[in-house]
Amino acid sequence: MYIKNYILLNRLKLYNLYRFIVFALTFISSISILNAQNPNFNQSYNVRQLTNPAFIGMGMYDAQRASRIATNIQARWLSLDRRLTTNAIEGDIIANENTSWGINLYSTDLFAGTTGNSSYNHFSAGLNYCYSIKLSNGGIQLALNGQYSNFNFGVENFLWEDQINPTMTGFELPTNEPLAKLSVNAIHFSIGALYSQPKYFIGAALYNINQPNISFYNESNQRIESRVVLQAGLNLGNSRFNIIPSINAYLQGGLVSISEDINFRKGNIYYGFGLKQNSMGNQIAHSVMGNFGYRKGNWFLNYSNNTNLSLRVANNPMIHEIGITYLLPSRFSSVHSVKLPLE
């Protein structure tokens, strides 16, 4: 009898293991990868002007209102030839009880770390204005953002075909395309709004309202499509320990990116994890995120990792991010305060 029960128990264990493997393979096989990953920062609340212009002026140093200087470095596809790095730095200053100003710089380098190719570069600089309205138990932030962008391509990244002269039967050599770096400038505007109370916040932003044209030769209408950003979060806990679940959604053209996070703040230690889904058309990619941060005095340092779950790539790409923030306590009292996942 003992041997019979032992055999049945092991068969049950094997059957449960088989069910788990089938479930896992079914889940993994349902995931497909996008042609390119979402360029938005995983640590959304660190570089706030690029998440929602209405977030500026919301910095806190312990229980005191504070201006912020923050920088973020993102690196992806490190195992591939065309590795991509993204850098951002921003600063906001609290001008008075209701007004805050901010400036942000942002750059992207597609061929970072490679030789023999000019990079694809995108540089952007923006100015931000935010006005706060105090309510009985919370407040509203309204913001405007103006952005200048420059896009560059090296000509060796293109294959130039010979030109055809319509008045002749042959080819015209060499090509008439300019053998220089291709460059185009753009001006775009954005708006943002945020409603917050001590226990929750909800915000929305609309980027690229004017949808500038960035085609190099003005021969086509290649416009930067408007991007809608939505976010919301809760603050659960007390002054010593906070649990902050939040959600961020990005919609631009056919791209939809949704991330759900849960962050924890205990004293000067911050940590959290989340899930992200990027979809475009019938392609969907899932990834998992984790982050850890620590504040020492006025300084806050944080690291984030995003791992793609798709098996369609050879080297399961990871996105690494490092953020540094410096807090400047302000003499102006807080119009309203809300706990955010990052300082």
Per-residue pLDDT of 160-215, as tens digits, reads 555 555 565 555 555 555 555 577 888 999 999 999 988 999 999 999 999 888 77
CA angle centred on 184, ends 178 and 186, rounded to 5°: 165
Pairing between β-strand 283-296 and β-strand 299-308 as defined by DSSP bridges: antiparallel
Cβ neighbourhood burial of 280 (10 Å; 0-12, 13-18, 19+)? middle
Cα–Cα separations (whole angstroms), residue 14 to 11, 25, 93, 120:
5, 16, 62, 52
Q: Is the peptide bond before 178 cis (omega within 30 degrees of 0)?
A: no
Average of per-residue pLDDT across 237-261: 88
| 7 or 184: which leads in pLDDT | 184
- Determine the pLDDT at residue 152: 78
Tell me how far apart the alpha carbons of residues 107 and 102 are, in angstroms, rounded to a whole number.
17
Res. 18 pLDDT band, cuts 50 70 90: very low
Q: Which residues contact 47 (CB under 8 A, 6 or more apart)?
A: 41, 70, 71, 72, 88, 90, 104, 323
Per-residue pLDDT of 119-167, as tens digits, reads 677 889 999 999 999 888 888 999 999 999 988 776 555 555 555 555 6
pTM (whole model) above 0.85:
no
Per-residue pLDDT of 272-295, as tens digits, reads 999 988 888 778 888 899 999 999
CB 124 within 8 Å of CB 146: no
